[in-house]
Structure 1
Amino acid sequence: MSWEPEIEELRRRQQMAGQMGGVDKVARHHANGKLTVRERVASLLDQGSFNEIGSVSGRGSYDADGNLLDLSPANFIYGRGRIDARPVMVGGDDFTVRGGAADAGIFEKQVQCEKMANEYRMPLVRLIDGTGGGGSVKSYESIGHTYVPANPGWDIVVANLATVPVVSLALGSVAGLGAARTVASHYSLMVKNISQMFIAGPAVVARAGETLTKEELGGAMIHAKAGAIDDVVDSEEEAFARTRKFLSYLPSSVDELPPRTDPVDDPVRRDDWLIKAIPRERRRVYDMRRIVRSVVDTDSFFEMGKMFGRSAMTGLARIDGWPVAVLASDPYFYGGGWTADTAQKVVRFVDLADTFHLPVVHLVDIPGFLIGLDAEKTATIRHGARALSAVYQARVPWCTIVVRRAFGVAGAAMTNHTRARFRYAWPSGDWGSLPMEGGIEVAYRAELDRAEAANPEGGREALMAEITERLEGVRSPFRSAEAFSIEEIIDPRDTRARLTEFANLAAPLRKPGFRSAGFRP
Structure 2
Amino acid sequence: MRRRTIGFSGRCALLMNGQDDIEEIARRRRLAEGMGGPEGIKRQHDNGKLTVRERIEIFADNGTFRETGYLEGNATYDGARLASFVPKGEVNGSCEIDGRRVFVSAGDFTVRGGSAAGIHGGLGTELRVAQRALEWRLPFVRLLDASGGSVSSFLEMGRTYLPDGNTWTATEVELLQHVPVVSAVMGSVAGLPAINACLSHFNVMLRGTAQLFPGGPPVVKAALGIDIHKEQLGGSDLHTRRSGVVNNVANSEKDALQQIRTFLSYLPSNVYEMPTRSSSVAPRRAATDLRGLVPDDPRRPFDVRTLIDAVVDEESFFEISPDYGRSRVVGLARVDGYPVGLMANNPKHLGGSTDVAAGKKAMRLIQLCDLFHLPLVSLADEPGFMVGPAVELEGIETAGAQLVWTTVSSRMPWITFVIRRLYGVAGQCHHRPSGMYRRYAWPSARWGSMHISGGTAAAFKRTIAQAADPEAKLRELEAELQGIASPFRTAEATGQDLIDPAETRERLVEFVRDAQRVLATQVGVPAMPFRP
Fold-level similarity (TM above 0.5): yes
User: RMSD value over aligned CA atoms?
Assistant: 1.6
Alpha-carbon offset, residue 372 of structure 1: 1.4
What secondary structure is seen at the aligned counterpart in 2 of 1:204?
helix
Counterpart CA distance in 2 for 1:203 and 1:175 is 12
Residues 428-439 of structure 1: pairs in structure 2 closer than 5 A: 428-439=444-455
Query: Which residue number corresponds to residue 469 of structure 1?
Result: 479
Q: Alignment partner for residue 161 of structure 2, among 114, 130, 147? A: 147
Query: Which residue number corresponds to residue 230 of structure 2?
Result: 214
Query: Which residue number corresponds to residue 304 of structure 1?
Result: 320
Alpha-carbon offset, residue 111 of structure 1: 6.4
Alpha-carbon offset, residue 369 of structure 1: 0.7
The answer to whether the 8 Å contact 2:327/2:358 transfers is yes
Q: Alignment partner for residue 197 of structure 2, among 179, 182, 186? A: 182
Aligned length: 510
Alpha-carbon offset, residue 348 of structure 1: 1.5
What secondary structure is seen at the aligned counterpart in 2 of 1:153?
helix
Say whether 1:512 aligns with 2:529. no
Alpha-carbon offset, residue 139 of structure 1: 2.1
In structure 2, what residue type is equivalent to 1:332? K
Say whether 1:16 aligns with 2:31. yes
Q: What TM-score do the two structures reach when normalised by structure 1?
A: 0.95
In structure 2, what residue type is equivalent to 1:337? S
Residues 188-267 of structure 1: pairs in structure 2 closer than 5 A: 188-207=203-222, 208-225=224-241, 226-265=243-282
In structure 2, what residue type is equivalent to 1:42? E
The answer to whether the 8 Å contact 1:367/1:405 transfers is yes
Counterpart CA distance in 2 for 1:34 and 1:360 is 38
Say whether 1:355 aligns with 2:386. no
Counterpart CA distance in 1 for 2:437 and 2:89 is 53
Counterpart CA distance in 1 for 2:118 and 2:323 is 36
* Per-residue deviation, residues 189-208 of structure 1 (Å, max 9, x unmatched): 10011100111100010121
Poorly superposed stretches of 4+, deviation over 6 Å: 107-111
The answer to whether the 8 Å contact 2:283/2:314 transfers is no
Alpha-carbon offset, residue 144 of structure 1: 2.5
Say whether 1:391 aligns with 2:407. yes
Residues 89-488 of structure 1: pairs in structure 2 closer than 5 A: 89-105=103-119, 112-132=128-148, 135-151=149-165, 152-207=167-222, 208-225=224-241, 226-265=243-282, 270-419=286-435, 421-451=437-467, 455=468, 459-484=469-494, 487-488=496-497
Q: 1:469 to 1:299 in 2, by over 3 A?
A: same
Counterpart CA distance in 1 for 2:24 and 2:235 is 44
Alpha-carbon offset, residue 105 of structure 1: 4.1
Counterpart CA distance in 2 for 1:4 and 1:329 is 66
Q: What TM-score do the two structures reach when normalised by structure 2?
A: 0.93
Say whether 1:68 aligns with 2:82. yes
Query: Which residue number corresponds to residue 506 of structure 2?
Result: 497
What secondary structure is seen at the aligned counterpart in 2 of 1:314?
strand
Alpha-carbon offset, residue 420 of structure 1: 5.5
What secondary structure is seen at the aligned counterpart in 1 of 2:117?
helix
* Per-residue deviation, residues 397-450 of structure 1 (Å, max 9, x unmatched): 000000111111111000213445411011110100110111000111111011
Alpha-carbon offset, residue 376 of structure 1: 1.6
Identity of aligned residues (%): 40
Q: 1:107 to 1:263 in 2, by over 3 A?
A: farther
Alpha-carbon offset, residue 490 of structure 1: 0.9
Alpha-carbon offset, residue 378 of structure 1: 1.1
Unaligned runs of at least 5 residues, structure 1: none
What secondary structure is seen at the aligned counterpart in 2 of 1:265?
coil
Counterpart CA distance in 1 for 2:240 and 2:127 is 28
* Per-residue deviation, residues 25-72 of structure 1 (Å, max 9, x unmatched): 101111111111111111101000011101111111222x32012221
Q: 1:231 to 1:406 in 2, by over 3 A?
A: same
